Amino acid sequence: MKINGVQIDDTFAEAFPMKATRLIITAIDTYWAYRAANSLTGFASSVIACGCEADIERELDPSETPDGRPGIAVIIFAMSTRQLADQVTKRVGQSVMTTATSACFAGIHAKDSISLGRSLRYFGDGYQMSKKIGGIRYWRIPVMHGEFLCEETTGVVPAIGGGNLLVLARTSRHGLAACRAAVKAIAGVKGAVTTFPGGIVGSGSKVGSKYKFLMASTNQRYCPTIKGLVKDTALSEEVGSVLEIVIDGLDETAVREAMRVGIRAACGFGPKQGIFRISAGNYGGKLGPYHFHLHEVLK
């Protein structure tokens, strides 16, 4: 299969189950809502070492938020509900509640839930107050700028982590141009996010290592500087850079659509602009039960 002269490998992206929640962060204006959201999603690229994976899903109009103010939707992923609860409490407490004029609400209401304001209320030192509106409990926590309003809980749903695509390019500059276009296209897919810096991974990894203390290490088959040393290199002579886009989603549909639009955006550059192949990372089906075959995704 080729799109605009770019070869699409007959392979699949291997993804795995996660738990996720969506939070809605609001503030006095969009600037402060973004400050809170960017702080919350900091150091949240990979569960390998960050504890969770998180990113901004989209900007919200005041008509879409519970308190009628500008807002940002973020999605947070973790390997278990317990890990997700721990990360949400810490990140909302340290990054959202500390942002002047902010408030935080559940962006998902589900049968399963984790604590939000229910834990953070204790910061009020006994002066916190609660109120039920429409069957939902909110906590008003007095803080020095005024008060921090926070919904009591947020819903938890099954989710998918590790959808991905690899962009094989002539140079890093060529690859970055294509990947930025792909990330921009993916940003329009509801329920999907790209959690690495700028949505792009410059150091894609494989499971395991020759060093027993590492759970992941460089994916040498796609490292251009050592392709002459690696017997099973996946790279041809013209490929000088490989960049990866990793996608987390709330369901298979979101991941599949994100991969589809991302691949098509990257292929729009074509070989004349340094884009030769699109591939994907997998481990023979040993990592996770979700297999997104590139040719099927693009049909």
As a three-state string, the secondary structure of the chain is CEECCEEECCCEEEEEEEEEEEEEEECCCHHHHHHHHHHHCCCCCCCCCCCCEEEEEEEECHHHCCCCCCEEEEEEEECCHHHHHHHHHHHHHHHHCCCCCCEEEECCCCCCEEECHHHHHHHHCCCCEEEEECCEEEEEEEECCEEEEEECEEECEEEEEEEEEEEEECCHHHHHHHHHHHHHHHCCCCCEECCCHHHCECCCEEECCCCCCCCEEECHHHCHHHCCCCCCCCCCCCCCEEEEEEEEECCHHHHHHHHHHHHHHHHCCCHHHCEEEEECCCCCCCCCCEEEEHHHHCC
What does the pLDDT look like over 248-265, one tens digit per residue?
Answer: 999 999 999 999 999 999
What does the pLDDT look like over 202-257, one tens digit per residue?
Answer: 999 998 999 999 999 999 999 999 999 999 999 999 999 999 999 999 999 999 99
Give CA separation, 85 vs 88, 99, 202, in Å: 5, 20, 29
pLDDT value for 101: 98
pLDDT value for 284: 86
Average pLDDT over residues 86-111: 98
* 144 has a pLDDT exceeding 90: yes
pLDDT value for 286: 83
From 242, 245, 243, select the one nearest 192 (Cα to Cα). Answer: 245
Cα angle 170, 165, 205; round to 5? 85
pTM: 0.96
Average pLDDT over residues 161-174: 98
Q: What is the largest CA-CA distance in the chain?
A: 67
**pLDDT confidence of 285, banded at 50, 70, 90?**
confident
- How is domain 2-14+160-297 classified at the CATH fold level? Alpha-Beta Plaits (3.30.70)
The whole-angstrom separation of Cα 157 and Cα 238 is 43
Are 202 and 243 in contact, with CB atoms under 8 Å apart? yes
The whole-angstrom separation of Cα 235 and Cα 43 is 31
Q: Residue 121 is which amino acid?
A: R
Average pLDDT over residues 28-56: 97
Instruction: Round the average pLDDT of the chain to a whole number and report it.
Output: 97
The helix-helix angle for 252-267 and 172-186 (nearest 10°) equals: 140
Residue 293 forms beta bridges with which residues?
12
* Other beta carbons less than 10 A from residue 199's beta carbon: 20
User: Of all residues in the chain, what percent carry a pLDDT higher than 70?
Assistant: 100
pLDDT value for 234: 97
CATH number of 19-157: 3.30.70.520
pLDDT value for 239: 98
**Tokens 């309003």 belong to which residue?**
149
Residue 25 forms beta bridges with which residues?
72, 104
Please give the distance of CA 228 from its chain centroid, rounded to a whole number.
34
Average pLDDT over residues 96-118: 98
The torsion angles phi and psi of 175, rounded to 5 degrees, stand at -65, -40
* 294 has a pLDDT exceeding 90: yes
Domain with CATH 3.30.70.520 in the chain: 2-14+160-297, 19-157
